[in-house]
Structure 1
Amino acid sequence: MSITIRDAVHGDEPHIVELIRELSETMDFPSEVTEKSAEKFLSFPGCGVLLAFEGEKALGLLSYSIRPGLFHGADSALIEELVVRREARGRGIGSALISEFLRKVKKMGCAEVSVTTMPDNEGAIRFYKSHGLVDEALFLEKHF
């Protein structure tokens, strides 16, 4: 069966919650995601989710946000989360999601795309670099 990628719509919140919870388990870091928070994310201007499906089963997710950028005078895109179900990894689903995302934001006129990953996540770093992302800045954060 082939993989299809589409924008998430209202009603896809259960798929989003399930995939984010799998990511949370993989990271061994709790997530407070709920269907309500997924709905809020989908409703927020500039935020979106791409879902990869095989039939009716959601196998992967890429969430993102788009914001205006002053320096480049154009929008900037941020990959928020990227997750592929354990049993579906190694099938090119992550690559299909990021390729579709890059096509989408380029068409929208975004000047840049950013993503963060843990500094010791060598697999993710290799993956993103293989799609043309480069080390350009240090991203610092504070959790509340």
Structure 2
Amino acid sequence: MSTTTTKASNSGDDAAAAAASSSSSASSAINFLTLCHSLKVTKRTGWVRRGIQNPESIADHMYRMGLMALIALDFPPGVNRDKCVKMAIVHDIAEAIVGDITPADGVPKEEKSRREREALDHMCKLLGGGVR
């Protein structure tokens, strides 16, 4: 086999690998978004337990917290508004996997943190990132 043929073959292999990676990446992004969709339909546990009519979903709560951070007038010096908004938007994202665990569930804080950390690691991997 000539060098030119080998390079062309390798080039084709690289293109196929890139296409497969892109397809895998798109599939992973869809899986991530599908997980996040559950936040729209999962009602906040505390409100449900208290019998609140039309309780907010986890996504409703995250969105509202993001807006609150966005429109807050006074931030102490050194506090980054953009970071606060981003944190507010994703602060409960692990609940897409672990659910809305409340103190009434009797799950120790360490266990809740472990579950949420594993969920976040899984979600980061879906987006092509490593473990946080």
Q: TM-score, normalised by structure 2?
A: 0.30
Indicate the structure (1 or 2) with the bigger Cα radius of gyration.
2
| Larger relative contact order, structure 1 or 2 (CA cutoff 8 Å, min sep 6) | 2
Q: TM-score, normalised by structure 1?
A: 0.28
Whichever structure has more helix as a proportion of its residues is 2
